[in-house]
């Protein structure tokens, strides 16, 4: 997943300067895994990493600038957004 995750992490960092690199990478991995798990549970045929990358890219384009605000309604992900744990890029 290296090049896919790296491209998406770079995109998220461009869209959201409130996230540190490690936070952005964690979000990319979370979104990637969530999409693939949901798709599989729905019984859909796996269409490859390129499709998953395209979906996660769309999500980043749409929600990336506000992704750091997500913790307000979803405290379960607070560890991803703890600003004290990460250096900004």
Q: Show the DSSP H helices in 16-48 as ranges.
A: 21-41
Q: What is the model's pLDDT at position 73? A: 62
Over its C-alpha atoms, the chain yields an Rg (Å, rounded) of 13
More confident residue, 45 or 58: 58
| Helices then strands, each counted (H, E), the chain | 4, 0
Residues forming a β-bridge with 20: 88
What pLDDT, in 10s, does the model give residues 7-26? 999 999 999 998 899 989 99
Distance CA 60, CA 67 (A): 8
pTM of the model: 0.80
């Amino acid at each position: 997943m290296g090049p896919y995750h790296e491209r998406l992490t770079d995109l998220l960092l461009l869209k959201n300067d409130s996230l540190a690199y490690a936070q952005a990478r964690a979000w990319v991995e979370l979104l990637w895994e969530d999409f693939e798990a949901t798709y599989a549970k729905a019984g859909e045929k796996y269409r490859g990493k390129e499709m998953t990358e395209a979906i996660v890219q769309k999500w980043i384009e749409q929600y990336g600038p506000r992704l750091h605000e997500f913790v307000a309604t979803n405290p379960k992900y607070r560890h991803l957004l703890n600003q004290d744990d990460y250096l900004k890029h």
